[in-house]
Structure 1
């Protein structure tokens, strides 16, 4: 049986995977939350955010082009520094599972629950079905997954385009408000929340090895995926600002469904709910893929004869996928019965993502040369600034990185105890 991942991802499917992952849960809540913080100054915040993300995206593109590997950022760190730091990053990435994935599945389940018949329309059933669908799509292969996410991307773009058309958005709605010194703090506060919208590039880095032409298509997929997602967020924010669909906790998660009901009527509510579920599903799908490939890559390196290091006949790390899905389901049960605070989980997950970006940029500073190295330096400074802006939640990422990554002992590979 081949121990190499299949190269099935094309440029189009890669763009679809990344753009839907970046939008995911964020499109249905972040624009309204940001508007509640900065009002119309949110338009400036989106512009600043996209400018800041450009060097980060370009640096990830440069790393993926030169070092396509299922290990993602952990592999970049290994190439730049040493295997011990690689294990630290692997632990760091895995630490997102208990804080980020159950929260995201809860959001997806919230949409699916509205579509399920009784008695399946409960939170636990909806989350369970969501996880089962994720496993089935992942086990079907990257090619099938890419096609599905491209269709989801088209449905999201169609929804936003319909909102622009039905909302009669005119050129004056895109007018930027005057930028003053007093507006800088609200813009900065909004940026701290909006960075979530471009979380996903680090997960996409794990897919570089599966591109048919990684040298050309992987960098283009990152750049075009970020551009498409950024424009979609911008357009969605314009509609939300025009109709005032922000400013209360209820609008934080229901702004898009409310706008759809307001503009199209309640008869399309089921369709909008389905699009919302698909958007969340797309984001989760890439993360499950990236987690399984990172675990497979780490185990293959440390214990190549273990079952986790094997690939299925389809060239999929099936055992790694099933193991991670089992862990996620246990966490879903814990969250369902303990009623844990999802907003706290999202803040902790955000600290991990930003720190992973920071480590990737630091690796790029050492690995890349010429203009790409200077671009990585700019991206590194931006990531450091964002990381400090996270406040106390940044401690979660630091503790995981230092304590678990450098824990003394004979073996420190993440999840290695499961790899037998």
Structure 2
């Protein structure tokens, strides 16, 4: 395994992203289906104090987002964080980081569509089999859309994200008059540890910047468009996340922690009979836009890893910017199908799937931030910002607890594969 430190593949004409489509893909990566389930999990862990976890993660994710935007604008490459890590720490660490993200995609997208499927089935009164069918339909649609290239998936994403933002904003505004101060007491029934626990699970809702880093080379003008898209995404996501956290707690009270579908309850209280239709629509939109971005980023990472020797060489086809990495997409589809075949009938619940994904993505983010510290000019503010982001991500990573075993095992597998390759080369 000889991952190169070369980034910036040759540019091919065709599917390139402008600021609007880029913003839609970034919003989709961060504002995913976690919004449907995570308010319940966070409220169960910390009570009303979960709002602190939401706000803290939002504020502390700003340096992470800005740092990833700066790296992507400076070193646009389909390898994303793996490419940045290669420049800073060499090929072995880059291969580890690449495998962390690539392995997280099948688990994460499955968790995302299962959340959406459960919401849709619940909204229209269907059972578990129907929820799984909806989830599979969302996966198939996302993979098919990505095989059409970013020209197709970017335009679809732009329309869907616009509709989603309008729906969620309308729900927040409509719920405002129903807030009750009594629902915020007792504020921290589980103490500080509950807030820390909430941070660990909520990272799933704030990850996504690392997925977007794999799309940096797809922007027509990365140096200008990527930072602008990142700033607009931070504004949109910040308003929606904080607004939803406050309204879910203020309107539902204890029911936010008791119900696995707090957003559905919120919509039911505000719009009555049409809540089921709105809930199903929001669930489909949230699930699709997130899965669409992660598949797009994961496929381009797979092609870049193959290009640089960390995955089989045939997968490198389509690694140039503007091209569609069909073979890498097919591999992701096969891995996702395998994970689904095990997890759906026999495997862990959604909480476990989300925490496994969060642990891998937190590890990727930590590596990316550490790489930014090393690559940033010593006399610039970017270095200080990256150092702050590194410290924040390290704390989030520690909150993942036992699930850190997953990225640790993946790292060991990469290093063993590399060592065997070196020994084989020596014997030859």
The interval holding the TM-score normalised by the smaller chain is 0.7 to 0.9
Residues in 2 aligned to 1:32 and 1:109: alpha-carbon distance in whole angstroms = 17
Secondary structure at the counterpart of residue 340 of structure 1: coil
Structure 1 residues 390 and 327: alpha-carbon distance in aligned structure 2, compared to 1, 3 A threshold: closer
Whether the 8 Å CA contact 1:20–1:229 is kept in 2: the answer is no
Structure 1 residues 410 and 66: alpha-carbon distance in aligned structure 2, compared to 1, 3 A threshold: same
Structure 1 residues 292 and 258: alpha-carbon distance in aligned structure 2, compared to 1, 3 A threshold: same
Residues in 1 aligned to 2:254 and 2:156: alpha-carbon distance in whole angstroms = 31
TM-score (norm 1): 0.87
Structure 1 residues 251 and 59: alpha-carbon distance in aligned structure 2, compared to 1, 3 A threshold: same
Structure 1 residues 275 and 315: alpha-carbon distance in aligned structure 2, compared to 1, 3 A threshold: same
Whether the 8 Å CA contact 2:24–2:161 is kept in 1: the answer is yes
Within-5 A mapping of 1:122-133? 122-133=130-141
2:117 matches 1:73: no
Of residues 163, 167, 179, the one that matches 1:155 is 163
Residues in 2 aligned to 1:273 and 1:164: alpha-carbon distance in whole angstroms = 17
Whether the 8 Å CA contact 1:89–1:356 is kept in 2: the answer is yes
Residues in 2 aligned to 1:329 and 1:80: alpha-carbon distance in whole angstroms = 34
2:247 matches 1:239: yes
TM-score (norm 2): 0.85
Of residues 339, 354, 357, the one that matches 2:362 is 354
Residues in 1 aligned to 2:208 and 2:58: alpha-carbon distance in whole angstroms = 14
Q: Which residue of 2 aligns with 1:62?
A: 70
Q: Which residue of 2 aligns with 1:417?
A: none
Residues 337-381 of structure 1: CA distance to partner in whole angstroms, max 9, x if unpaired? 324333222212111111111100111111111211111111111
Structure 1 residues 185 and 315: alpha-carbon distance in aligned structure 2, compared to 1, 3 A threshold: same
Residues 282-334 of structure 1: CA distance to partner in whole angstroms, max 9, x if unpaired? 11111111111011112223399954222399821112112211221122122
Residues in 2 aligned to 1:149 and 1:202: alpha-carbon distance in whole angstroms = 18
Residues in 2 aligned to 1:19 and 1:397: alpha-carbon distance in whole angstroms = 26
Secondary structure at the counterpart of residue 421 of structure 2: coil
User: 193-202 vs 264-273, which deviates more?
Assistant: 264-273
Of residues 26, 37, 60, the one that matches 2:45 is 37
Q: Which residue of 1 aligns with 2:95?
A: 87
2:176 matches 1:165: no
Of residues 384, 408, 411, the one that matches 1:374 is 384
Residues 142-165 of structure 1: CA distance to partner in whole angstroms, max 9, x if unpaired? 122222222222222222222233
Residues in 2 aligned to 1:312 and 1:159: alpha-carbon distance in whole angstroms = 36
Secondary structure at the counterpart of residue 203 of structure 1: helix
Q: Which residue of 1 aligns with 2:317?
A: 310
Residues in 2 aligned to 1:361 and 1:83: alpha-carbon distance in whole angstroms = 17
Structure 1 residues 172 and 96: alpha-carbon distance in aligned structure 2, compared to 1, 3 A threshold: same
What stretches of structure 2 of length at least 5 have no aligned partner? 1-9, 424-428
What stretches of structure 1 of length at least 5 have no aligned partner? 413-420
1:224 deviates by 2.1
Residues in 2 aligned to 1:5 and 1:299: alpha-carbon distance in whole angstroms = 22
Q: Which residue of 1 aligns with 2:409?
A: 399
1:120 deviates by 12
**What RMSD in Å do the two structures reach over aligned CA positions?**
3.4
Of residues 385, 398, 415, the one that matches 2:395 is 385
Secondary structure at the counterpart of residue 259 of structure 2: helix
Residues in 2 aligned to 1:182 and 1:243: alpha-carbon distance in whole angstroms = 20
Residues in 2 aligned to 1:85 and 1:406: alpha-carbon distance in whole angstroms = 13
Count of residue pairs the alignment pairs up? 410
2:259 matches 1:259: no
2:24 matches 1:13: no
Residues in 2 aligned to 1:379 and 1:81: alpha-carbon distance in whole angstroms = 18
Whether the 8 Å CA contact 1:32–1:246 is kept in 2: the answer is no
Residues in 2 aligned to 1:147 and 1:246: alpha-carbon distance in whole angstroms = 40
